[in-house]
Amino acid sequence: MGKLIEIRDLSKVYERGKQKVEVLHHIDLDVDEGEFLALMGPSGSGKTTLLNLIGGLDKPSGGSISVGGQRIDELGAGPLAKWRAAKVGFVFQFYNLMPMLSAQRNVELPLLLTKLSASERRKRAGIALQLVGLGDRATHKPAELSGGQQQRVSIARAIVSDPALLVCDEPTGDLDRQSAEGVLALLRTLNRDHGKTILMVTHDPKAAGYADHTLHLDKGTLVEPVVAA
């Protein structure tokens, strides 16, 4: 299996007025195609910053990020947005669904950027909702769904364009244990049966247990966990 992500000497500096804060320090990271990787670390250690850089939501201050052979750090804003829409699905802690739209319409949103016809968009969103087990909730609005169901709608939205990479930032951070397990089992199915490469930030060691491998970020530096031989 090939590498999907290759990160070299990555750094990120935020400027607050005259003050510069280096949030990520010289990070190297390789992620294989088809890997399910968990990322843990204290609050403020740079986990969200790293995910957003890998997903092309933000630009690095130094170093390189290659995803699927594309140097995304070298893309301008327009091409980067296009790349992101085609190649990455995002799942956030608080779902980020549009409250006035049905589950079906929320899942169709990323497809509005494509040339697909309305009927094809409807069909693909329907398939994605079925895949997350919510085929019978298509007409419900977010407020009519539980937290776990809303997160599964957001996962349907993340996969509707069939991206190779899913980037999940504390996807179970706001869920009860049972809903969290449903979401994690779904992510594992998407990884094992649908070949999605998954990067997941979590504070929960049990959630990390669903991944193949866990890395830790500490004050902007990646550290391998110490594993007993």
> Does residue 47 touch ligand ADP according to CB under 6 A?
yes
Which residue of 5, 38, 48, 179 would you call a contact of ligand ADP, by CB under 6 A?
A: 48
Q: Give 21's contacts (C-beta < 8 A, 6+ positions apart).
A: 13, 14, 15
Q: Is residue 2 exposed (0-12), middle (13-18) or buried (19+ Cβ within 10 Å)?
A: exposed
Q: In angstroms, give the least distance from the CB of 195 to Mg ion.
A: 27
Q: Which stretch binds Mg ion (CB under 5 A): 42-50, 59-67, 123-131, 179-187?
A: 42-50
Q: How many CB atoms lie within 10 A of CB 149?
A: 21
Q: In angstroms, give the least distance from the CB of 32 to ligand ADP.
A: 23
User: In this complex, which beta carbon is closest to ligand ADP, that of residue 38 or of residue 160?
Assistant: 38
Beta pairing class for 19-32 and 3-16: antiparallel
Q: DSSP letters along 36-63, please?
A: EEEEE--TTSSHHHHHHHHTTSS--SEE
Which residue of 27, 46, 55, 180 would you call a contact of ligand ADP, by CB under 6 A?
A: 46
> Does residue 94 touch ligand ADP according to CB under 6 A?
no
Q: In angstroms, give the least distance from the CB of 208 to Mg ion.
A: 15
User: From the DSSP assignment, how many helices (H) and strands (E) are in the chain?
Assistant: 7, 10
Q: State how far the Cα of 85 lies from the Cα of 83, in Å rounded to an integer.
A: 6
Residues 3-32 touching ligand ADP, rule: CB under 6 A, are 14, 16, 21, 23
User: In this complex, which beta carbon is closest to Mg ion, that of residue 93 or of residue 149?
Assistant: 93
Q: Give 181's contacts (C-beta < 8 A, 6+ positions apart).
A: none
Which residue of 44, 79, 133, 195 would you call a contact of ligand ADP, by CB under 6 A?
A: 44
Q: In angstroms, give the least distance from the CB of 181 to ligand ADP.
A: 23
Q: State how far the Cα of 49 lies from the Cα of 163, in Å rounded to an integer.
A: 21
Q: State how far the Cα of 163 lies from the Cα of 176, in Å rounded to an integer.
A: 28
> Does residue 48 touch Mg ion according to CB under 5 A?
yes
From ligand ADP, Mg ion, none, interface partner of 44 (C-beta below 5 to 8 A by class): ligand ADP
Which residue of 27, 36, 38, 49 would you call a contact of ligand ADP, by CB under 6 A?
A: 49
Residues 135-174 touching ligand ADP, rule: CB under 6 A, are none
Where on the chain is the footprint of ligand ADP (CB under 6 A)? Answer: 14, 16, 21, 23, 41, 43-49
